[in-house]
Structure 1
């Protein structure tokens, strides 16, 4: 079993939710949906919104959140059938499907990271990264990094992996090193980029810009809610109920500034930083038909398969059919 790194990690913490929730008492027929997440992660902001406003009960489910220390643990629990839903990326889902698993996903967020530099840095384009010390979160096979490598090679004939001083590290560590001036530039996850933006940094190039330059016609969800297709078929009302509860939370978070102020202690953010996290989250709310996202993800898969090879995608040279949950297209 191959477990790949997911470009998803965060600094917010969800207030603990008891399995014996008000929702379960208020709606005893609600089906429990076991959701596994990292204890610190931006998905917790949405899950907290679902629980606080009882969007799960309103849609016939009881979201039961289980916390894990690392991504590999959630992936293993998912594959073992101990969870109903996790958050992961379509690349991992496709690889698992190509190896015989029946995982599928519903888009969660199109928010992606970016290469960030200080506002006054003499770095204004990808060629300016040559010879610079660049921090990269997510490892050498991170999707955003591979896409930026591909764009640099195609448009500028630059091999950034060789012509830059690349430092791989955990997102929080690279965030601190960027603030301290130890890095000339950093490619980090979207929420760390927002926090850097609040501290005098600017975007040099985003992974979303890179994806469009390489063939995507619009935003593609970097992450999705992942579940077994068999589970979704057997408990269709619960699967759809969870998707609808997520949509209700996104709608509220997309419209209500007061809701973000409520979440501020969980997010550990305030002022300009809170506003930027709110705005970047809103920009990442999926708005396109799932079929369009799936089509663009397949195009990006082809690029990534060429760049990352078997270490990234295994033996499958095309994105597996069914990676995006087909029921969302009906």
Structure 2
């Protein structure tokens, strides 16, 4: 009898130890910018208990900039970050095992004042254009290519591009020091809420060049090794992300709740940010995303060369995590 009790106690202890190990293994540490748009989705996941529902524990690690998230991921301090698939495919080509799950297809837009006489890219000849992301920004490269193809002008030479951080460029634009500004989607949305208009978006430029298709340029990035060791948790994370997006897509009340996270200047700005976020929710299948990425990569290789895409000639196999296809 005593021996039986000892066996039962030992079995119970083993179950507890196993449960504890599983709990620790199911924690997913996501690196986020303190005021980044990814926080909005993370907040929805936490507020609705979607991490617990899908079998993992969400933990956020706030950092100051995107480079810090990459360092955190590669140093093992974070399990998941948000970056672009172009960086992922370059890293894989160099031997790293990073992989990607689409987060958003929202891209930047080239904004001009509401009363601007600019109707096409040809009208920007000789104008001062603010560009966030630097000379090799993907949207900037594509917009330049459209300007050359459709109007025979080289915006890098025929206009006056000025590179800088999005907040600074927005400020200079609003003060009239720039005639147009190409910025990230959320900064463009804030300008739109103030009455500025979109001349062309990155997606429209890609479509004009034959590489469109609602490709999501940014997404969740993690190591294959981590996904293999925590497959159920990672599939749960993808499922929670999709469910959070569905809530954000269908519930205006949720965006009111998110106001402290979004920090809009007013209700009009909140509405534009909400609508542009919703437009960026990925709708393509995994196969479509990969096909679109292959076409965009080919275009980027032509426009930016090795400085942008590295030594690769095509999208590296495994850039997109196959496990996402079966995540519920």
TM-score > 0.5 by shorter chain: yes
Cα offset for 1:217?
4.7
SS of 1:186 mapped into structure 2: strand
- Aligned pair in 2 of structure 1 residues 265, 316: CA closer, same or farther (>3 Å)? same
Closer/same/farther in 2, CA of residues 104 and 28 from structure 1, 3 Å limit: closer
Q: What TM-score comes out, normalization by structure 1 length? A: 0.89
The equivalent of 1:223 in structure 2 is 218
| Alpha-carbon contact 1:30-1:60 (below 8 Å) kept | no
CA deviation map 1:9-57 (0-9, x unaligned): xxxxxxxxxxxxxxxx9x9578100101111211111111111111111
Q: Which residue matches 1:199? A: 194
Aligned-partner Cα distance in 1 for 2:248–2:271: 12
Checking the alignment, whether the CA contact within 8 Å between 1:115 and 1:186 is kept in structure 2 is: yes
Distance 2:235 2:268 in 1: 36
Which residue number in structure 2 is paired with residue 52 of structure 1? 47
Runs of 4 or more above 6 Å deviation: none
Report the more deviating stretch, 56-65 or 151-160: 151-160
**Bigger Rg, which one:** 2
The 3-state SS of whatever aligns with 1:209 is helix
Q: Does 1:280 align with 2:261?
A: no
Q: Deviations over 1:45-96 (max 9, x none)?
A: 1111111111111100111000111111111121222211000001000100
Aligned twin of 2:99: 104
Q: Deviations over 1:265-291 (max 9, x none)?
A: 221113111000000000000011011
Counterpart in the other structure of 2:320? 324
CA–CA separation in structure 1 for the residues paired with 2:150 and 2:286: 30
Q: Which deviations, in whole Å up to 9, do the C-alpha atoms of 1:191-235 show, x marking residues without a partner?
A: 111110111101000001011112235201020100111211221
Kindly state the Cα deviation for residue 312 of structure 1 after the two structures are TM-superposed. 1.1
Other-structure match for 2:300: 304
CA apart distance, 1:121: 0.3
State the SS of the aligned residue for 2:167.
helix
1:313 aligns with 2:309: yes
Matched, 1:247 2:242: yes
The question of whether the paired residues in 2 share the 8 Å contact of 1:104 and 1:322 is answered with yes
Displacement of 1:236 in angstroms is: 0.7
| 8 Å contact kept, 2:25–2:230 | no
**Does the 8 Å CA contact 1:111/1:280 hold for their aligned counterparts?**
yes
Report Cα offsets for 1:162-199 as digits up to 9, x if no partner.
11100000011111111111110000111111110111
Aligned pair in 2 of structure 1 residues 30, 321: CA closer, same or farther (>3 Å)? closer
Q: Which segments of 5 or more consecutive residues in structure 2 lack a partner in the other structure?
A: 1-19
The one-character-per-residue Cα deviations of 1:114-135 (angstroms, maximum 9, x if unpaired) are 0000111010101111100000
Residue in structure 2 matching 1:289, options 264, 285, 292: 285
- Kept after mapping to 1: 8 A contact 2:238/2:324: no
1:30-109 map, 5 Å = 31-109=26-104
Aligned CA distance change for structure 1 residues 129 and 172 (closer, same or farther; 3 Å)? same
- Report how many aligned residue pairs link the two structures: 305
Distance change in 2, residues 1:39/1:61 (3 Å): same
**SS state at 2:258 partner:** helix
Structure (1 or 2) with the greater helix fraction: 2
